[in-house]
Chain A
Amino acid sequence: MSILTIDHIYKSFKDIHAVQDLSLELPSGVIFGLLGPNGAGKTTTIRMIMDIIIPDKGKILINGKPNTQEQLDQVGYLPEERGLYRKMKVGELLSFFAELKGIKPSQSRNRIKSWLERFELIDRINKKAEELSRGNQQKLQFIATIIHEPRLIILDEPFAGLDPLNTELIKEIMLEQQRNGATIIFSTHMMEQVEKLCDSICLINEGKAVLSGELRQIKKSFGRNSIRMEYIGEAKFLKNQKLVQKFEDHDGYVEIYPAEKVIIKQILQEAIKEVDVSRFEIMEPSLNEIFIEIVTKKEREEHHE
């Protein structure tokens, strides 16, 4: 059964259609990336999942039930706009957030300690939140998100403002939570993060889902692979418009974009005939490229209409 079902939701703010006809089906145990440029509707979608704003139309189900408080208690949510009680002590703060999700302070005490140890914040347990550095406050907020061991974790831009070391730490914990059976949704506009973490993605632009599914599948079906080739000799075939749509000379290698309906094997055969090939690598399209292509294609279409 899917842990999260989004069924044709719509949300408008005055004249802006923030989310239009968005549907998602999220199997349990995946890491799911919600992608899109700024203002695409990612945060609005997440806020609707969290019942902070109510969709104009459509349904949201968690574990097959409406997203009421009872279901949301099993969700951990890291909002895009981070916020903590600045005057509260670190330990008390975490205890409060855990209690708000139904975990008694007596039960959360040890968990809080072990998380603070893991994030190297244990010596700050009696410091006020405002005395922590910005990065440490981010870590604290992340702990607050997962302190009640939620089945579904929703992270809105989790890596924003983190240094590479802490980014790695958060990634590590995300993967660890997945191994323990949690499902994770996270939004980002940094595509590189997604390729390393996600099992599935949904690309949204201007409130609409433009692409969604398993990451591997998407890349496969998106047949716009390029080839990186290193060679010695004169490669005349590169000029053959029937084979090669275009090519770019880089330092030490050439990037080849095959013409439409050309099988890559054909290019390799031609290449071997003409030059000494020392490297021939099929490059998957990066999400970045896919994204840019989809968005610009859409715009072009709209332009034509």
Chain B
Amino acid sequence: MNKLWTVFKREFLTRVKTKGFIIGTLLTPLFIILISIGPGLLINLKSEKSKQISVVDLSGIVYDELVQALNDTTSSGQPLYEFKKVIASTENLDSIKNDLSQAVDKNKIDGYFIIPPDIVEKNETQYYAKSVSNFDENRTFQSTISQIIRNYRITQSNLDPVLVNKLTRWINLRTFKVAKGGEEQEDQGLSFIVTFIMVMFLYMALIMYGVFVMRSVYEEKQSRVVEVLISSCKPFQLMAGKVLGVGAVGLTQYFIWAAVAALLTVYSGSIMQLFSAGARAFAIPTIPITVLVYFIIFFILGYLLFATIYAAVGAMVNTDQDAQQFQFPVMMFIIMAFILAFYIIKNPTANLSKIISLIPLFSPITMFTRIAIQMPPFGEILLSIVILIVTIIFLIWLAGKIFRVGILMYGKRPTLPELINWIRY
């Protein structure tokens, strides 16, 4: 037991102290913060400078309305757009366009509109500027001018624009999730996103930490440290110490991330306020505590299952190439479970969903998906967990056997009959 602790401690400390771990652990939350509140911040940031825009309105119906509609202000309270009307006719349009383009080139104005005389029929207008890649601004221009032309057409048809807008309004579809006990909760597609993110995390963690265990075993074998280790402790202690050590690294990393996420949920509003007054707090959906508990349970069980298999794989191989080849079938199970999770998200109550959430190599991901999307009966969850634990115990026994022999086998990689012999040994 003491030696298991020694192996565990070394595995944990050497990993946690690496630059990779520290950077990865700290940068990931920073990255999440950036993508979650960054866009909110940017949207609320206002331009500092007014824009000089000339308008050549050959139709004669757009200019006044445009000036009235685009009344945004800069951060210092000045009008954002300063429009200037340019008088022109179809005859001298080319030379005027030339002059305006020169003005844009020399930064005298920021851009100009050409509103053709037949805009109502042709449904087209032009905007010229040095930079036309501000999609947000383009959309604003387009929708503003569209609205002006629409209202013009409606008035021309002797109808009341206000009435027409009222009559053609879109219907808003609100979705509600009925949780356990018939409680209703408004849900705007977030439950799908949250489930997806959690399943994704589970999937990545199983592969990432599994491969860590494999590499760790395989590196000890390659650097031949293993001979001293195996003469100082039981192979099982070595394997268990490694699996638990890497697992503890994973849990540590996840707890740090979870803590950051929790802080972010609580303080996201005030963080946003710091940057820009009046900004809308970005809503991070809350995850029910039971789902979180199951997440941890299935993470731990799934990790133990795959880390054990990966440890055995690490003990079997001698070269990087073999490692790649041998880990592939294992990874296939995780990938398949991930793909099946999509089916479950769509059909959480189908019989197939129930079956695949009980199969031990899939269940860490598939059963958790069911839990996150629609809580299954407790009996089914329990059955899935029991099957999983029995499988893990069996695999630990099996991997222990393979590990015992494989760890000292150098040279060629084992064939299947040889593997069976190792297990009997």
Contacts and interface: CB of A to CB of B under 8 A. Distances in A.
Interface of A: 47, 50-53, 69, 72-73, 75, 77, 79, 81-88, 92, 96-97, 99-102, 144
Interface string B385-419: 00000000000000000000000100000000000
Contacts of B220: 83, 85
Interface string B8-23: 0010001000100000
B280 to A, nearest CB: 48
Contacts of A72: 231-232
Interface stretch (B39-47, B91-99, B196-204, B222-230): B222-230
Contacts of A73: 232
Nearest to A156: B227
B229 A100 contact: yes
Given A52-B408, A88-B14, A96-B6, A101 B226 contact: no
Most chain A Cβ neighbours within 10 Å, of B2, B6, B227, B231: B231
Interface string B208-243: 000000000000100111111111111000000000
Contact of A83 (B2, B3, B228, B232): B228
Interface of B: 2-3, 6-7, 10, 14, 18, 220, 223-234, 408
A86 B223 contact: yes
Contacts of A75: 231
Contacts of B2: 102
Nearest to A82: B224
Nearest to B229: A100
A83 B223 contact: yes
Contacts of A69: 233-234
A50 B223 contact: no
Nearest to A53: B408
Contact of A84 (B3, B7, B223, B230): B223
B223 A79 contact: no
B10 A52 contact: no
B6 A83 contact: no
B227 A81 contact: yes
Nearest to A141: B228
B224 A79 contact: yes
A53 to B, nearest CB: 7
A79 to B, nearest CB: 4
A96 B229 CA distance: 10
B230 to A, nearest CB: 6
Contacts of B227: 47, 52, 77, 79, 81, 83
A81 B10 contact: no
Q: Give 6 closest A-B pairs by Cβ, nearest first.
A: A83-B224, A50-B231, A83-B225, A81-B224, A79-B227, A100-B232
B228 A144 contact: yes
A53 B410 CA distance: 14
27 contacts: A47-B227, A50-B231, A52-B227, A52-B231, A69-B233, A69-B234, A72-B231, A72-B232, A73-B232, A79-B224, A79-B228, A81-B224, A82-B224, A83-B220, A83-B227, A83-B228, A85-B14, A85-B223, A85-B225, A86-B223, A88-B10, A88-B14, A96-B10, A100-B6, A100-B7, A101-B232, A144-B228
B225 A77 contact: no
Given A51-B231, A52-B408, A69-B233, A99 B226 contact: no
A77 B232 CA distance: 9
A170 B75 CA distance: 77
Q: Pick the most buried of A51, A72, A75, A85: most chain B CB atoms within 10 A of its CB.
A: A85
B228 to A, nearest CB: 6
Nearest to A49: B231
Nearest to A88: B14
Contact of B14 (A53, A87, A99): A87
Contacts of B232: 72-73, 97, 100-101
Contacts of B7: 100
A100 B233 contact: yes
B371 to A, nearest CB: 39
Contacts of A81: 224, 227
Contacts of A51: 231
Contacts of B10: 88, 96
A161 B63 CA distance: 90
Contacts of A88: 10, 14
A72 B232 CA distance: 7
Contacts of A53: 408
A97 B223 CA distance: 15
B85 to A, nearest CB: 72
A102 to B, nearest CB: 7
Contacts of A100: 3, 6-7, 229, 232-233
A231 to B, nearest CB: 56
A96 B220 CA distance: 14
A87 B232 CA distance: 20
